[in-house]
Amino acid sequence: MAEGWSLADYWWTPEVESTIRAVYGSGDLADACRALGEARASAGVGIAEGMNDLAALFAVSGLGEPPFDALRAFAAGWAEESLTPLSELACEDPLTGLVTVAYLRTRLAQLYRGSAAGMCLVVAEPYGKTEELAERLAVVLNLATALRKAFPGDETLALLTPVRVGAVTREDDRLADKVARLRDAEILYGRRPRVWVRPLPRAYGQALALIRSLSLDA
């Protein structure tokens, strides 16, 4: 904090743990720093602030200045994540009209600047894999429609993968009915979606890790 870290609650991510282990000789330092740079850029942390943080780790560890390879790897990871193709940075998926994962990260950052207490993520996807392209398109369009019907208010509705959707919403007395409505939706040939609810973690970095894991194709 003394070196200028501005958002204490955003500091922790899984990549922080990997970097600490690598600094103390367990793991590849360059790989860990590259991953940390990507995580910092994804969280909206500037490259100077992120490098200051890395330097602070070396300083408190009594190791002097970070080696050039570590700084270069951090900068490369930060730049690669920041220069994501513009198509991936769009706010809205053109097929479903749901917001993209990139926008969802921005929305989460806004939530965590206030309080994410009492918020959760409702996730829906088909049971099993849908191999045919036409069926996959039908599934995701029907999922998007079902999500909007179940959550018609001010919730943030996102496309997490080509066949997985999610809603950031409040854990209130109406949530159970909304989830039940989503579970009852028909998405293809009488099939119903698999739906589960995850409370948002206390820390923004943990929320980003959760979104990252859910945005990977199953």
25 and 131 inside one domain: no
Mean of all residue pLDDT scores within the chain: 88
Does 70 reside within a domain?
yes
Query: Residue 26: its pLDDT value, please?
Result: 86
Question: What is the residue range of 44's domain?
Answer: 8-82
Query: What does the pLDDT look like over 89-146, one tens digit per residue?
Result: 568 887 888 999 989 998 998 889 887 889 999 999 998 877 677 788 889 999 999 9
Last residue of a domain, one of 82, 109, 139: 82
Q: Is 39:13 a contact under the CB 8 Å cutoff?
A: yes
Whether residue 190 lies inside any domain: the answer is yes
Q: How many Å apart are CA 95 and CA 143, to the nearest integer?
A: 12
Whether 93 and 27 share a structural domain: no
Q: Which pLDDT does position 86 carry in this prediction?
A: 47
Residues 154 and 186 in one domain: yes
SS3 193: strand
- In this structure, the answer to whether residues 97 and 65 fall within a common structural domain is no
Same domain for 128 and 46? no
Classify residue 1: in a domain, yes or no: no
Q: Minimal CA–CA distance to 43: which of 110, 124, 132?
A: 110
Number of domains into which the chain is organized? 2
Q: Is the pTM of this model over 0.75?
A: no
Pick the last residue of a domain from 82, 111, 146.
82
CATH code: domain of residue 137: 3.30.70.270
Over the stretch 132-183, which tens digit does the pLDDT of each residue have?
777 888 899 999 999 999 999 989 999 999 899 999 999 999 999 999 999 9
Taking the C-alpha atoms of residue 146 and residue 18, their distance in angstroms, rounded to an integer, is 39
Span 72-91, average pLDDT: 73
- Decide if 207 contacts 117 (C-beta within 8 A): no
What is the pLDDT, as a whole number, of residue 92?
83
- Kindly tell me if the per-residue pLDDT of 57 is higher than 50: yes
